[in-house]
């Protein structure tokens, strides 16, 4: 997908298992235990686009949430840029994730009361980035995704494709090491989906990109595909 990377970091997932109680809570909270991931290992290098495929319930979304540090595995280890996420406190892990991981959700997860520019600037609201720089960065990214004239529009006045492009711009705001996309074309028509895939593959020059999808066309755009079935890597 891209040329040699200037970054030496990668995502390393080692023997990761994720179990839930039968009621969706923590293991041991009552009822039977569900194993969403079963000893899954995966390495994604900078500049590489990896697809994650499998039927519904195979563990794709769970794997993405673990890779992003949104949840911690029951067993195993997740490392980003050489940092073991389990060694960080919850607060430090949140900050680390904000600085190093960009997440693109299928249903966009934009805040409806904010403009496109304000949504894109959200990851930079850490107290360390001046307001002027936040605005400049959001403007740069919205220009890059082809939405220079939609900066001040709220999500409700944007098309599905425009909202997804805003979501991608937001994911890139903090210049993350890793971009993770969960069914990024699932809500889009074919032509718009192609443009979104173009954006995701273009940003992989110095980033590790992971795309989970049922869409064969999306998976065809990746460098390699990891297949899951019943939480196990095939």
Give the model confidence (pLDDT) of 143-173 as tens digits.
989 899 999 999 999 999 999 999 999 999 9
Domains of the chain in start order, with CATH, are 44-71+87-233 (3.40.50.300)
Average pLDDT over residues 177-195: 89
Supply the pLDDT for residue 206: 83
Q: What does the alpha-carbon distance between residue 91 and residue 83 come to, in Å, rounded to a whole number?
A: 15
In the prediction, which pLDDT does 51 show? 97
- CA distances to 142, 157, 204 from 43, rounded to whole Å, are 30, 39, 15
What average pLDDT does this structure show over 103-111?
A: 90
Place 32 in a pLDDT band, splitting at 50, 70 and 90.
confident
> How far is the C-alpha of 116 from the C-alpha of 162, rounded, in Å?
9
| pLDDT of the residue at 4 | 41
What per-residue confidence (pLDDT) applies to 24? 55
Question: Model confidence at 23, in pLDDT bands (50, 70, 90)?
Answer: low
- Give the span between the Cα atoms of 226 and 234, in whole angstroms: 8
Q: What is the residue-averaged pLDDT of the chain? A: 89
43-73 pLDDT, tens digit each = 999 999 999 999 999 999 999 999 999 999 9
Angle among Cα 75, 77, 81 to the nearest 5 degrees reads: 165
Mean pLDDT of all residues in 102-121: 94
Of the pLDDT bands very low, low, confident and very high (cuts 50, 70, 90), residue 193 is confident
Q: Are 70 and 77 in contact (CB under 8 A)?
A: no
Lowest mean pLDDT segment, chosen from 13-27, 56-70, 204-218: 13-27
CB 166 within 8 A of CB 119: yes
Query: Between these two residues, 17 and 95, which has the higher pLDDT value?
Result: 17
User: Distance (Å, rounded) from C-alpha 67 to C-alpha 155?
Assistant: 27
Decide: helix, strand or coil at residue 4: coil
- What distance separates the 2 farthest-apart alpha carbons in the chain? 53
Cα atoms in the 13 Å half-sphere on the side-chain side of 146: 11
Q: What per-residue confidence (pLDDT) applies to 31?
A: 65
């Amino acid at each position: 997908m891209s040329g040699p990377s200037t970054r030496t970091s990668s995502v390393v997932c080692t023997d990761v298992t994720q179990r839930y109680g039968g009621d969706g809570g923590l293991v041991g909270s009552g009822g039977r235990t569900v194993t969403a991931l079963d000893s899954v290992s995966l390495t994604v290098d900078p500049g590489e686009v990896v697809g994650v495929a499998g039927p519904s319930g195979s563990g794709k979304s769970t794997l993405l949430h673990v890779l992003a540090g949104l949840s911690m595995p029951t067993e195993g280890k997740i490392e980003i840029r050489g940092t073991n996420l389990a060694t960080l406190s919850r607060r430090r892990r949140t900050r680390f994730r904000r600085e190093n991981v960009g997440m693109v959700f299928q249903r966009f997860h934009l805040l409806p009361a904010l403009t496109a520019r304000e949504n894109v600037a959200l990851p930079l609201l850490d107290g360390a980035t001046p307001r002027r720089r936040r605005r400049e960065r959001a403007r740069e990214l919205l220009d890059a995704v082809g939405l220079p004239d939609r900066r001040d529009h709220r999500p409700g006045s944007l098309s599905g494709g425009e909202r997804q492009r805003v979501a991608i711009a937001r994911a890139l705001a903090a210049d993350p090491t890793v971009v993770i996309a969960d069914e990024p074309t699932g809500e889009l028509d074919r032509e718009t989906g192609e443009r979104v895939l173009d954006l995701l593959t273009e940003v992989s020059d110095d980033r590790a990109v992971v795309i989970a999808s049922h869409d064969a066309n999306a998976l065809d755009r990746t460098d390699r595909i990891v297949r899951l079935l019943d939480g196990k890597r095939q």
